[in-house]
Amino acid sequence: MPMTSYKAATIQFEPTLYQKESNITGLLERVREAAVAGARLIVTPEMGTTGYCWYDRQEVTPFVETIPGPTTDRFQAVAHEFDTYIVIGMPEVDAASGLYYNTAVLIGPDGVIGTHRKSHPYISEPKWAASGDIAHAVFDTGIGRIAMLVCMDLHFFETARLEALAGADVICHISNWLQERAPAPYWINRAFENACYVIESNRWGLERTVQFSGGSCIIEPDGTVAAAIDNGDGIAYATIDLERARRREVLGEPIFAGRRPALYMDLMTNSYTWNPGAYFKLYGYQPIPPGRLSRAGVVQFTPTDDVLANLGAIETRARAMMSAEKPDLIVFPELALTGLGDPAARAETLTGPAVARLVALAMRLRVYIVVGLAERDGDVCFNASILVGPEGLVGSYRKIHLGAADKSWAMAGADWKIFDLPIGRVGMLIGHDALYPEAARVLSLRGCDLIACPAAIAGKFTGAHAGTRVRHNYPIPTGADPCHWHAMRVRGGENNVYFAFANVLDAKHGFDGKSAVFGPDSFVFPREESAVLDDDGFVTAAIDTTNLNTAYPTNIVRHKDLMVMRLPHHYPALIKSHS
């Protein structure tokens, strides 16, 4: 009978530089302990055999090995004895080229099964290692399909997505993660958006002034942290349910079946390797607006099935916001104009009276407003959003990734939209679009400073953190946080865009709101964002899109560090159909 579930373990460990034998001995003791406890998959930290903070190639040279080699042989002996699978992190030397790599190794009962060479380097790897050329493979084993990533790799949604699309049940992420409370939101998002398990093995402790975050954990396909270690050496266990991983459902939706690969061709480009000021104005076509300091806000409320009542609610809240905080852009929820119940019955054309009233409101208040509605175009309806402003109807967008609730009445949109406003370049997504990491990435690569996302997303896409004993330096927070993980906060940070997320609030029907405006940098504290809304109301946040016209922009929303570091030559599978 085929295996359907098994016990897995993550090991948290503090290696010591120059003490390779001691490190290996310590890891072997903990691996053996986990195997005796019945773990069939055991994951250990990045560079756990040697330590991490090497000055240069010369310093690490005495500690590199080939794979297979003496170190992998020692772990393979334990794997063979207990019929288990082990992931270790080590500095590898390629015997043919002499190049060094930061490598994850999957070892089974019969030897080395495969490797992943860290493909997206952190600031330290280029001091001694080459970027990985063996990347994103999925290995069929006696306990299912296993893939590996190393630390910084996980910052880029493409890496985990490639492995999930190739059938990974479990992604083993080994790391030396730092500068935030862990379990980190990025780790959780990669499990959540791919509906697979992520086993995170992170080191802890202080090495050459670097404080590592600990927080090793096992994350379930819905983003729930099943087990975690805060600080110190330790082992955490959880059950891997293969049937659950293979359903590939995000908030009840078959996530891979809903992908639109033909619209993802931008993923194969790398626009931010060039100065964006020069790149986007090439041939005089679509130069990025100069930008300015401004404010963006989101409104959270419960739309009804009465269009006139919704118009009244929108107008009242817009006026209140302009009186209180004077935002330049306001985003209302998905279908806020026409309501969620039988949207087609109230669908309106873009020249209809309700849209005209919204245009008049924006012109009177001298503000840009994004509102979701059911749009009628002839005999066809779309789940759409409109952008209105002082100049009138600026444009509209039609939802590309339809949820189950949309499919009974709406046709999917067929193109992305960007709009150049005085505050900067704005893109639009709607609701379930944001559950697909490809969508926000395309808009970021097209130069967007801000993504406006009206939403009606029900279910859990946030998670709390109880606080950590790790002694992070100020201003990195260590206390409890009721909204530590928010899927849309990650969307903003991983794409270096402001993300204005306006979700429906309707607890009776599972819509918990959690609207907010999130900043473009995940690792700036205090965070550049608004509060997260739990009740009917509105919030705003400062938006800074200045600094394009310097020799090279230093504002992160304008130079987009994480876009620069993408490696599209690894990504062709993302634009192929996997239905």
Of 191, 222, 247, the residue at which a domain comes to its end is 247
Residue 233 and residue 125 share a domain: yes
Strands 144-150 and 170-175, how do they pair?
Answer: parallel
Q: Is residue 99 a contact partner of residue 93, using CB atoms and an 8 Å limit?
A: yes
49 pLDDT higher than 70? yes
72 pLDDT higher than 80? yes
Structural domain count of the chain: 2
Q: What is the CA radius of gyration of the chain?
A: 24
The active-site residue out of 14, 20, 92, 118 is: 118
Q: Which amino acid is at 366?
A: R
Residue 471 and residue 363 share a domain: yes
- Catalytic residue list contains 453: no
Is position 176 within any domain? Answer: yes
- Catalytic residue list contains 118: yes
Other beta carbons within 10 Å of 328: 20
- Catalytic residue list contains 46: yes
Residue 234 and residue 280 share a domain: no
- Backbone conformation region of residue 493, classed left if phi is above 0, alpha if psi is from -120 to 50, else beta: alpha
Note the pLDDT of residue 523.
87
Per-residue pLDDT of 265-291, as tens digits, reads 999 999 999 999 899 999 999 999 999
Per-residue pLDDT of 350-405, as tens digits, reads 999 999 999 999 999 999 999 999 999 999 999 999 999 999 999 999 999 999 99
Strands (E), 332-471: 368-377, 380-389, 392-398, 418-421, 424-428, 450-455, 462-465
The active-site residue out of 14, 20, 151, 375 is: 151
d(CA 223, CA 160): 14
| CATH number (domain holding residue 190) | 3.60.110.10
Is position 113 within any domain? Answer: yes
Note the pLDDT of residue 242.
98
Residue 190 and residue 97 share a domain: yes
Of 220, 247, 274, the residue at which a domain comes to its end is 247
Exposure b/e, 260-294, CB count within 10 A at least 16 = b: bbebbebbeebbbeeebbeebeeeeeebbbebeeb
d(CA 497, CA 560): 8
Range of the domain at 338: 263-575
d(CA 116, CA 12): 20
89 pLDDT higher than 90? yes
Residue 539 and residue 506 share a domain: yes
Residue 182 and residue 306 share a domain: no
Q: Is residue 337 a contact partner of residue 307, using CB atoms and an 8 Å limit?
A: yes
Note the pLDDT of residue 577.
82
Residue 382 and residue 345 share a domain: yes
Note the pLDDT of residue 510.
96
110 pLDDT higher than 90? yes
Residue 352 and residue 479 share a domain: yes
Residue 184 and residue 281 share a domain: no
Would you place residue 579 in the very low, low, confident or very high pLDDT band (cuts 50, 70, 90)?
A: low
Is position 94 within any domain? Answer: yes
Average pLDDT, the chain: 97
Is position 257 within any domain? Answer: no
Note the pLDDT of residue 134.
87
Per-residue pLDDT of 152-177, as tens digits, reads 999 999 999 999 999 999 999 999 99
Residue 331 and residue 213 share a domain: no
Residue 273 and residue 208 share a domain: no
The active-site residue out of 14, 20, 46, 381 is: 46
Residue 294 and residue 237 share a domain: no
Note the pLDDT of residue 550.
81
1 pLDDT higher than 80? no
Containing 280, the helix (H) or strand (E) segment is helix 276-280
Note the pLDDT of residue 500.
98
339 pLDDT higher than 70? yes
Model confidence, pTM: 0.97
Per-residue pLDDT of 212-245, as tens digits, reads 999 999 999 999 999 999 999 999 999 999 999 9
Containing 163, the helix (H) or strand (E) segment is helix 157-165
